[in-house]
Chains A and B, each alone.
Chain A
Amino acid sequence: MAIENKNFSRRDFFRKSGAVAGSVIFASLLNPFKKVYAVEEPKGKSKWYGIGIDIEKCIGCASCVRACKNENDVPKEPFFFRNWVEQYVITNDGDVKVSSPNGGIDGYKQIVPKEDIYKSFFVPKMCNHCSKSPCTQVCPVGASFETKEGLALVDKSYCIGCGYCVQACPYGCRYINPKEGVVDKCTLCYHRLQKGIDPACMTVCPTGARIFGDLHDKESSIAKFIKENNCVVLKPQLNTGAKLFYNALSQEVH
């Protein structure tokens, strides 16, 4: 009787410790998944960049597209863009026609006659500098990363050019530079921000449709923009934490 009890308790002990050890190992395996999000929003007064675009002010001149290509040495061919402008034409029949000839640089033609047009507007697109960006999540070597101020940047001398981030970006903001073989994308002109000047695209916009700033500073123009307008981000259902806020974004825009 006594011997049976001893065996039972010893077996019991091993079983319990095995379960504990197993769950500890399992939980530690889950550890890499804890930080699936690129970067956590800093608390307090540290900078947290956000971008705002007012669709009601955009006139589709594509000065921003040209300026970005000039400033950042983007190849001038019509296949590679860090930012671009789309024209949406919604006809009375409910047809949605979208066009972006050379990103907007080649100018827009009005193909649909005015009487058939129900709604029409321009939508500038650029990197959303997502806080939970899928592009930084999938980079195998950490060449795509988020700075602590919330900018998604690319380390070109470390990138291996696998193109995983290009596939993972839901907004189509990235491209592989054919001459360099590595990935390129909007950096919010990080080199200009460090010198205290605005990004090139915001400098040249003639109507002030593009603004950016510190989301934590409630007196900044971006914070006021979001407060005074009905702002939304693109593809909110994907939970990318996008920080590019549009005013007056229509549902047809994807």
Chain B
Amino acid sequence: MEYKSLYEALAHLDGYIYPNEITLNWDLLIVMYPYITGLVAGAFILASLNRVFNIKALKPTYVISLLTALSFMLVATMPLISHLGKPQRFYEMLMTPHLTSAMAIFGFVYLWYLMVVLLLEIWFDYRYDMVIWSKQKKGFLKFVYKALTLWIKDTSPESRKTDDKIGYFITVVGIPSAFLLHGYVGFIFGSIKANPWWSTVMMPVIFLFSAMVSGIALVMFIYMVINYIRRQKNDIVCLDTIAKYLFYILIIDFALESLDQIHRIYEADESFDILKILVRGKLFFTFFIMQIGIGTLIPLSVLGFLQFKKPKEKIRKIIYLLISVCVLIGIFFMRWNVVIGGQLFSKSFYGFTSYKVNLIGGRDVLLSLLWFIVPFIILTFLLWLLPPWKKATHE
């Protein structure tokens, strides 16, 4: 079978590992899963900054954030299901959930967030427009719009007011739901007492704030790409505001991660010696250079500098584009360091195994790429079906 890579790993063992630890069970697909759910939570938080906290400058990105969140949310469980040993049995988690397991509860948190928060919020925001479009289009599209509006024909101002009120209420409920959605992913790792790299109280909080950072960077990136494709001008005030919030939340994220590491280094419990070797050795490139260097320090210093001195618009746009990509890469490697890093060292604290990503044709690489690209396709479809720029203006 595919034991060749395992035999190679066995020949390159570092120290001693429990014999069963040679394979990494949670591979690249399990790195993609918190990454994608994080993008969802982060994009939604950006939308809620506009809707609930009334930051008017973010209005151009409000709908794009929601549609981005929905596109990624639809794909969020796919990396998990593709990774299962028996994917055809995935429904068992919803039918007979074992309530002490965080993973079982996640199935319901996911359903709640998808159906009650995301779908409903987008529905309430688009309902009026969908009714208008159902009247304008013909044929199959007409039927699609009618079905989406649940065959409601009401376009009166009162109905629009109701839409606004309920939409606002849902966004308010959605903020703690987004926290729950991604906090739970952090809890899935943070509650494993067997693994000292994962087992920390900070894990859900760190996951949450890094999710917010990645989601905001994603929306910034998508907003600029959409404007480029549609040959529209970028609203520079909107971009400046997004960059400002990205900067603030990145500071909090960096502070939390630093606190976690400083605490770990200071307490230096029994796992510290092996973890020190792990971080300085196998994780050196992904941790210091990618996650901290490219993903945190460069965006922090550039965005921080921009708060004091703003160069010309043209240069700022290019900077924002580059910084959002840096942040997205950095947060991906943060997930990599947590998931893969946690399995590289032996629970005997005496050695390491190795993980070679088969960049050409490896099953986990192909599937991960697929589940990362599909949301963009879904987003394109959604932007065609529900174009934000054709929406009726609000008072």
A residues at B contact (CB < 8 Å): 32-33, 35-36, 77-81, 84, 86, 96-100, 102-103, 125, 134, 137-142, 158-164, 166-176, 178-183, 238, 254
CA distance A166 to B191 in the complex (A): 14
Using A79-B23, A138-B101, A166-B25 as known contacts, list a sample of 17 further A-B pairs with CB atoms less than 8 Å apart, ordered by residue number in A. Answer: A77-B6, A79-B20, A79-B22, A80-B20, A81-B19, A97-B16, A125-B18, A139-B101, A140-B107, A160-B87, A160-B93, A161-B84, A161-B85, A170-B347, A181-B85, A182-B86, A183-B85
| Selected contact of A176 from candidates B17, B23, B191, CB within 8 Å | B23
Known interface pairs A134-B193, A140-B103; A172-B348 also in contact (CB < 8 Å): yes
The smallest beta-carbon distance between A244 and chain B, in angstroms, is 15
Question: Is A140 a contact of B20 with CB atoms below 8 Å?
Answer: no
CA distance A174 to B25 in the complex (A): 11
The smallest beta-carbon distance between A207 and chain B, in angstroms, is 22
Question: Is B350 a contact of A254 with CB atoms below 8 Å?
Answer: yes
Q: Which of B83-116 contact A (CB under 8 A)?
A: 83-87, 89-90, 92-93, 96-104, 107
Known interface pairs A162-B85, A170-B193, A178-B1; A100-B16 also in contact (CB < 8 Å): yes
Question: For A175, what are the chain B residues with a Cβ–Cβ distance below 8 Å?
Answer: 20, 23
Question: Is B100 a contact of A167 with CB atoms below 8 Å?
Answer: no
| B262 close to chain A: CB less than 8 A | no
Question: Is B103 a contact of A99 with CB atoms below 8 Å?
Answer: no
CA distance A51 to B21 in the complex (A): 23
Question: Is A79 a contact of B6 with CB atoms below 8 Å?
Answer: yes
Question: Is A33 a contact of B100 with CB atoms below 8 Å?
Answer: yes
Question: For A97, what are the chain B residues with a Cβ–Cβ distance below 8 Å?
Answer: 16
CA distance A143 to B355 in the complex (A): 28
Question: For B192, what are the chain A residues with a Cβ–Cβ distance below 8 Å?
Answer: 134, 138, 167-168
27 A-B Cβ contacts within 8 A?
A32-B100, A77-B3, A78-B10, A78-B19, A79-B19, A79-B23, A81-B20, A98-B350, A138-B102, A139-B98, A140-B101, A141-B98, A160-B84, A160-B92, A161-B89, A162-B85, A164-B103, A166-B20, A167-B192, A167-B342, A168-B192, A171-B18, A172-B19, A172-B347, A172-B348, A178-B1, A254-B350
| B234 close to chain A: CB less than 8 A | no
Nearest 3 pairs between A and B by C-beta?
A161-B85, A172-B18, A181-B85
| Selected contact of A140 from candidates B98, B342, B350, CB within 8 Å | B98
Question: For B195, what are the chain A residues with a Cβ–Cβ distance below 8 Å?
Answer: 167
Known interface pairs A35-B100, A158-B92; A171-B347 also in contact (CB < 8 Å): yes
Question: Is A162 a contact of B103 with CB atoms below 8 Å?
Answer: yes
| B223 close to chain A: CB less than 8 A | no
Q: Which of B56-104 contact A (CB under 8 A)?
A: 80, 83-87, 89-90, 92-93, 96-104
Question: Is B86 a contact of A160 with CB atoms below 8 Å?
Answer: yes
Question: For B1, what are the chain A residues with a Cβ–Cβ distance below 8 Å?
Answer: 178-179
Name the residue on A nearest B9 (C-beta): A79
The smallest beta-carbon distance between A162 and chain B, in angstroms, is 6
Question: For B18, what are the chain A residues with a Cβ–Cβ distance below 8 Å?
Answer: 84, 125, 171-172
CA distance A166 to B342 in the complex (A): 13
| B194 close to chain A: CB less than 8 A | yes
Question: In terms of DSSP, what is the predominant structure of the interface of chain A?
Answer: loop
| B123 close to chain A: CB less than 8 A | no
| Selected contact of A254 from candidates B6, B87, B349, CB within 8 Å | B349
| B26 close to chain A: CB less than 8 A | yes
The smallest beta-carbon distance between A164 and chain B, in angstroms, is 6
Question: For B102, what are the chain A residues with a Cβ–Cβ distance below 8 Å?
Answer: 138
Size bin of chain B's contact surface:
35 or more
Name the residue on B nearest A160 (C-beta): B89
Question: For B89, what are the chain A residues with a Cβ–Cβ distance below 8 Å?
Answer: 141, 158-161
Name the residue on A nearest B107 (C-beta): A140
Question: For A174, what are the chain B residues with a Cβ–Cβ distance below 8 Å?
Answer: 20
CA distance A230 to B107 in the complex (A): 46
Name the residue on B nearest A141 (C-beta): B92
The winner among A33, A137, A163, A178 for most chain B CB atoms within 10 A is: A163
Question: For A178, what are the chain B residues with a Cβ–Cβ distance below 8 Å?
Answer: 1-2
Question: Is A140 a contact of B3 with CB atoms below 8 Å?
Answer: no
CA distance A238 to B25 in the complex (A): 22
The smallest beta-carbon distance between B101 and chain A, in angstroms, is 4
Question: For B92, what are the chain A residues with a Cβ–Cβ distance below 8 Å?
Answer: 140-141, 158, 160
Known interface pairs A138-B102, A254-B350; A238-B90 also in contact (CB < 8 Å): no
| Selected contact of A141 from candidates B15, B80, B104, B343, CB within 8 Å | B104
CA distance A125 to B97 in the complex (A): 31
Question: Is B100 a contact of A79 with CB atoms below 8 Å?
Answer: no
Question: For B99, what are the chain A residues with a Cβ–Cβ distance below 8 Å?
Answer: 32
Question: For A36, what are the chain B residues with a Cβ–Cβ distance below 8 Å?
Answer: 100
Question: For B85, what are the chain A residues with a Cβ–Cβ distance below 8 Å?
Answer: 159-163, 176, 180-183
Question: Is B194 a contact of A176 with CB atoms below 8 Å?
Answer: no
Question: For A181, what are the chain B residues with a Cβ–Cβ distance below 8 Å?
Answer: 84-86
Question: Is B84 a contact of A79 with CB atoms below 8 Å?
Answer: no
Question: Is B103 a contact of A161 with CB atoms below 8 Å?
Answer: no
Question: Is A141 a contact of B96 with CB atoms below 8 Å?
Answer: yes
The smallest beta-carbon distance between B61 and chain A, in angstroms, is 35
Known interface pairs A138-B103, A182-B86; A172-B20 also in contact (CB < 8 Å): yes
Known interface pairs A78-B10, A98-B348, A168-B194; A137-B100 also in contact (CB < 8 Å): yes
CA distance A133 to B15 in the complex (A): 28
CA distance A160 to B102 in the complex (A): 15
Question: Is B350 a contact of A169 with CB atoms below 8 Å?
Answer: no
CA distance A81 to B17 in the complex (A): 13
The smallest beta-carbon distance between B311 and chain A, in angstroms, is 47
